[in-house]
Amino acid sequence: MEFRHLKYFIAVAEELHFGRAAVALHISQPPLTRQIQQLEEAIGVQLFIRTPKGVELTQAGELLLQEGKNLYSLIEQTVERTRRAGQGNLGRIDIAIFGSGTLDVIPKLLLRFRTIYPDVNVVLHTMVKSEQINALRQRRITVGFNRLLEPYPDIRSEPVTTEPIVVAVSTQHPLAEEEEIELQALKNEPMVLFPTGARPNFIDKVMDLCRGEGFLPIASQSVGDAVTGIALVASGFGISLVPKSATTLQLPGVVYRPLKNAPNAVVDLSCIYRHDDESPILKAFLEVVRSFHNESMF
C-alpha cells in the first residue's frame, strides 16, 4: 500500500461515490478505480460494495477508514515537520556562549532567532574559546560566540558586532568624576584583567591599547570573566577596561566611563561554525546573525 492509495481510498470512503471522489481529487474516474482495485489486491480484502447510488464500505473498509485517517494525518504531519526541518524552522541548535557576551548582544540576537523560529530548540553551553573550537570539531555544538579569533582552516567566522571599550572604575576613585578618561590616566593604576585562558583574548587587546600609549598595565588581578572583574572593581581592587556590553552589569560601587581619544579602543564579537556544516538550521541562524550585524553597523 502506497501513500496515494490511502489518500484515494479516504476520498472514496468519505464521498461513497467514485465520480464525486474523482472530482474532489482532480483526477478522472478510471484511474481512481484502478488505484482502489490495486489497494484491495494489495491488502487482500474487499473495501467497497457497489450500490445503485454509489458504493458502501465493507466492515474491513470501515476499519481501514478509521485507522487510515489517523495514519494519513500522521503522515501529513511528518511530511510537514520534515519540510520545516529542511527549511531550518524545526529542530535543535546547540550554541556556545561566554562571559561578557552574555550580558547584552548575544541574548538580543538569540531572542530575535527564537522569535523568528519559535519551534527550534535553542540549547546553550557556557564554554571558553578553546572549548568552543573543540566542541565544534566534535559536532557537540553548532555555533559558538567569541572575540579575537585566530583563523582556523576548518572553522568559519561571521561578524556579529563591534563595540567600544570603556573604563570600569570604582565610585570612590577620583577618575569616577571624569566624563571621559584618557588611557594615559591609567598608566599607574592597578588594573583588573580578564579573561584568563586561551590567547589571544581580551587581555591581549588591553595590552595592545596600553602599549600604544607607551606603557603596560599594572595587573592587580587576572580573572576568568567580566562579571568577576567588575565585581572586583566595585570592591576597590583596581580599574578595568571592559566591552561596552558589560556596562549592562550595574553593580553598586562601580561606574563606566568612555575612553577619550582612543579610536582603536574597540573589540569584535563573532559567531563561529564548522566550514562543512550545511544544515538548514545553521543557515537560518546565520541569516539572523547577518541581519543583526548589518543593523549594528548603523
The amino acid at residue 209 is L
What percent of the chain stands above pLDDT 70?
A: 95
Give CA–CA dist 182/262, Å, rounded.
8
Predicted confidence band at 290 (pLDDT cuts at 50, 70, 90)? very high
The cell 454509489 sits on which residue? Answer: 54
Domains of the chain, CATH where assigned: 3-86 (1.10.10.10), 92-298 (3.40.190.290)
For 177-204, the pLDDT digits (tens) are 999 999 999 999 999 999 877 677 899 9
φ and ψ of 107, to 5 deg = -60, -40
For 98-153, the pLDDT digits (tens) are 877 777 889 999 999 999 999 899 999 988 888 999 999 999 999 999 988 888 99
For 224-241, the pLDDT digits (tens) are 888 899 999 999 999 999
Cβ atoms of residues 277 and 135 within 8 Å = no
Q: Is residue 76 within a helix (H) or strand (E), and if so which, with residue range?
A: helix 59-86
How many of the other CB atoms lie within 10 Å of CB of 283? 12
**Predicted local confidence at residue 200, as pLDDT:** 79
Give CA–CA dist 229/226, Å, rounded.
5
State the chain's mean pLDDT as an integer.
Answer: 90
Q: Is 190 helix (H, G, I), strand (E, B) or coil?
A: strand
Residue predicted with more confidence, 198 or 243 = 243
**Predicted local confidence at residue 90, as pLDDT:** 67
What Cα–Cα distance (Å) separates residue 62 from each residue in 4, 41, 88, 155, 174? 18, 17, 39, 57, 87
pTM: 0.69
**Predicted local confidence at residue 201, as pLDDT:** 86
Q: Is 210 helix (H, G, I), strand (E, B) or coil?
A: helix
Q: Average pLDDT, stretch 209-232?
A: 92
Q: What is the 3-state secondary structure (H, E, C) of 103-156?
A: HCHHHHHHHHHHHHCCCEEEEEEECCHHHHHHHHHCCCCCEEEECCCCCECCEE
Please give the grid coordinates belonging to residue 235: 570592591
Q: Going by C-beta distance under 8 Å and a sequence separation of 6 or more, which residues neighbour residue 83?
A: none
Cβ atoms of residues 21 and 11 within 8 Å = yes
